[in-house]
Amino acid sequence: DPVAKTLKKIRACRACERHLPLGVNPVLSAHGDATVLIAGQAPGRKVHSTGTPWDDVSGDRLRRWLGIDRDDFYDETKVALIPMGFCYPGPGKSGENPPRKICRRLWHPKLLPQLKKLRLTVVIGRYAHDYYLADRQRDSLTATVRAWREYSPDFFPLPHPSPRNKAWLKRNPWFESELFLRFGGRSGEPWPEQSTGCFPGALGEKVQRYHRRQFGCALVDVVTGVNFGDLEYPTPLLPSGQVGDF
């Protein structure tokens, strides 16, 4: 298995060891069958200690945003969890240090091409936006997140779900209150069996029920106008009946 071999090499990597205050502990997961990639920034202190990606309050919020339970989130045959930096970079002046760049130079070009079944990459935070969206980004993270339709069907940009981002969420109430709540026009309708799940064809019907229970709609109701394989979904409408345009 080429993915397993690459992961073994990554977990043995010591390229950044002298720069990491808590030592080396690459935290990521991947499998050749994964159809969704969660591209984050770098593990925090708690994740460094547990060795489980997104095993913290940021992960809890991210799973609520995506409408996905822990079982599916941590099923590596469905979801790959690959941050920009694999090890905890240590504390910075405000929050954590940025992810170290060496991971994306050494390992991303080797690992990502091996994930041949990926259909959607959820791109989280500035550093992941810079890598995956590059010059397709807008002038700010906020503008990029607002323009999420421009990046479908391959990418879905998000802000970081860290508690330190409370100020951003407060300044941008549209993100949760409109993007995730108001796009519920189809939330009461059943989806075709092959399209159930947070991401069509990837996860399970229980994920749809979970997200609808939490937010009144499913993420698949939001990421629309996207062709996943043979399935196409229409652009959603705002309550006014106008095509949603942030």
Q: Are strands 36-39 and 120-124 parallel, antiparallel or unpaired?
A: parallel
- Compute the average pLDDT of residues 11-28: 96
Q: Is the pLDDT of residue 6 over 50?
A: yes
Q: Are strands 36-39 and 231-232 parallel, antiparallel or unpaired?
A: unpaired
Contacts 24+ apart (CB under 8 A), 100-109: 100/16, 100/19, 100/42, 102/15, 102/16, 103/16, 104/131, 106/13, 106/15, 107/6, 107/10, 107/13, 108/82, 108/84
Instruction: Tell me how far CA of residue 14 lies from CA of 44, 49, 162, 167, in angstroms.
Output: 18, 18, 27, 36
Give residue 96's pLDDT: 87
Contact 187, 212 (CB under 8 A): yes
Which of 154, 185, 160, 184 lies closest to 172, judged by CA? Answer: 160
Q: Which range is least confidently modeled, 41-50, 59-68, 193-202? A: 193-202
Which residues 6+ apart lie within 8 Å of 7 measured at CB? 28, 29, 30, 111
> What predicted TM-score, i.e. pTM, was given to this entire model?
0.76
Give residue 149's pLDDT: 83
| Percent of the chain clearing pLDDT 70 (strictly above) | 72
- Compute the average pLDDT of residues 186-190: 29
CA distance 70 to 192: 23
pLDDT: which is higher, 205 or 136: 136
User: Residue 209: pLDDT band by 50, 70, 90 thresholds?
Assistant: low
Give residue 127's pLDDT: 96
Give residue 178's pLDDT: 60
Give residue 109's pLDDT: 97
Give residue 16's pLDDT: 93
CA distance 168 to 138: 17
CA geometry: angle 63, 65, 67, nearest 5 deg: 60
Q: Is the pLDDT of residue 187 over 50?
A: no
Q: Is the pLDDT of residue 120 over 60?
A: yes
Instruction: Tell me how far CA of residue 223 lies from CA of 34, 112, 114, 183, 226, in angstroms.
Output: 19, 23, 25, 10, 7
- Compute the average pLDDT of residues 34-54: 95
